[in-house]
Amino acid sequence: MTIRVRTILLLTVALATMGLASCDHYTCGATFGNATCTPGGTTGGGNATAYVFVSNSSATGTIDGYTLDAGAGTFLVSSPYVGPLTTTAPIIGMVVAQNKFLYAVYSTGIYGYTVASAGDLETIQGLPVPLSLTVPAQTNWNQYVVTTNPAGTLLFISDYGTDQIYAYTIGSTGALNVVQGSPFGLLFKPGNIAMDGSGKYLYVADYSDIHAGTGVAGFSVSGSGQLTAIPGFQSYPMFQMQGDPSGQYLIAITGDNFSLSGLEDTHTYVYTISATGTISPAGGSPFSTVYSPFDIAVQPVAAPGGPFIYSFSVNAGYTGDNDVEGYQLTLSPLGFSAVSGSPFGSSSLVGQAAWGGFDPSGDYLFFYSEQNMTAYSVSSTGTLTQIGPIPLTTGGYWAAVDVQ
């Protein structure tokens, strides 16, 4: 793992020396992908299916907008659209709540917007909320330190620097209110966080390295957002985790392409969630993958038979992305089977990426690769049809909203 970390640090120094433009999460035009930072075309007619918002690390600090029109098969820059001014402070994460509120969390505070029917962003009254969050240089590898419950009524933020979890309730207008007792103190460094599919439990990874976690803690969540440690909770090594929509399972990866033995961990782990929120390895877990998962995306609304899970990874030298893999998690009985054609190669018109995520409906999957994004429609069997790609003006944290 030390060699990997040194490689990344040396790459970071080399890119800074070259004077390349920053792209928030990675660096524009210089890492895994080959795309440039030239904006793509603009929307022109048709019916929008979803809007995607991407943080922009330009000197002014804005949020860029993109429109997916599945009927027309286009994924383009939203037009007309004027991104709201935010801040040039480091961004920590971006999430959508109730499929209508967008929250962008920076080291200096929380910005919030209502997504209008035409894809514009309207500032929520009372926001931004001032907040001081520590952002270590390596935290950019934690893509999921901000999350909401499935109902979109609670917002949680993990703060690595102060060992705390901040919690807010989300009102009917999108306004935020601090949960009583927040921030909640921890006895470890929090990394990625996730909720189960029922919204009862919050799981917090123990951040231990640039892209790894040695354990996880579990908390029960009250209706008002208060956190209580789950009694008798047994920890397991994990870096990133997501709940399946049924609320029965927690899907996780160990991160950094390494297991504790120092070998690449080509597995996805599935844990059964008990009635009290404790977790235990599900039968058959861990499930083998072709490549070592760097990031996973779990379908938020399951397809018939169970949710699809897509695994994103980078190669051993951190010089490029591997082919994306697709799997279906069947629930009765529990199974983990590869989608037809997985891993998806270029011959299937499915690109490579290190990070991906769904829209709220689970019908569309977005690949993010530093300076470009590609949309895919997800079939009932988990196969992907490309819509895009589109170069990003500036890459960064992002979130999708479905048109209602």
Report pLDDT digits (tens) over 70-93.
Answer: 999 999 999 999 999 999 998 899
**Residue 23 pLDDT greater than 70, yes or no:** no
- The model's pLDDT over 212-266, given as tens digits with 9 standing for 90+, comes to 778 999 999 999 999 999 999 999 999 999 999 999 999 999 876 544 445 678 9
The helix (H) or strand (E) run that includes residue 18 is: helix 2-18
**Mean pLDDT, the chain, whole residue set:** 85
**Residue 327 pLDDT greater than 90, yes or no:** yes
Mean pLDDT lowest among 57-61, 177-181, 272-276: 57-61
Ramachandran region, residue 393 (left: φ > 0; alpha: ψ -120 to 50; beta: rest): alpha
Q: How much is the pLDDT for 28?
A: 29
* Local confidence band at 207 (pLDDT 50, 70, 90 cut-offs): confident
Whole-number Å distance between alpha carbons of 116 and 403:
9
What sign has the CA pseudo-torsion 338, 370, 105, 294?
positive
Q: How much is the pLDDT for 40?
A: 45
Whole-number Å distance between alpha carbons of 379 and 385:
8
- The model's pLDDT over 332-376, given as tens digits with 9 standing for 90+, comes to 899 999 999 999 987 778 888 888 999 999 999 999 876 788 999
Q: How much is the pLDDT for 317?
A: 74
**Residue 33 pLDDT greater than 50, yes or no:** no
**Letter for the amino acid at 181?**
G
Give strand ranges (E) for 255-354: 267-273, 279-281, 287-288, 295-298, 308-312, 325-331, 334-338
Q: How much is the pLDDT for 160?
A: 85
Overall average pLDDT of the 40-54 stretch: 75
Whole-number Å distance between alpha carbons of 344 and 186:
40
* Local confidence band at 37 (pLDDT 50, 70, 90 cut-offs): very low
CB 212 within 8 A of CB 1: yes
Name the residue among 306, 387, 381, 356 with its Cα closest to residue 143: 356
The 3 state secondary structure assigned to 167-227 is EEEECCCCCEEECCCCCEECCCCEEEEEECCCCCEEEEEEEEECCEEEEEEEEEECCCCCE
Overall average pLDDT of the 272-283 stretch: 98
Q: How much is the pLDDT for 1?
A: 35
Report domain extents, the chain: 2-303+385-402
CATH code linked to domain 2-303+385-402: 2.130.10
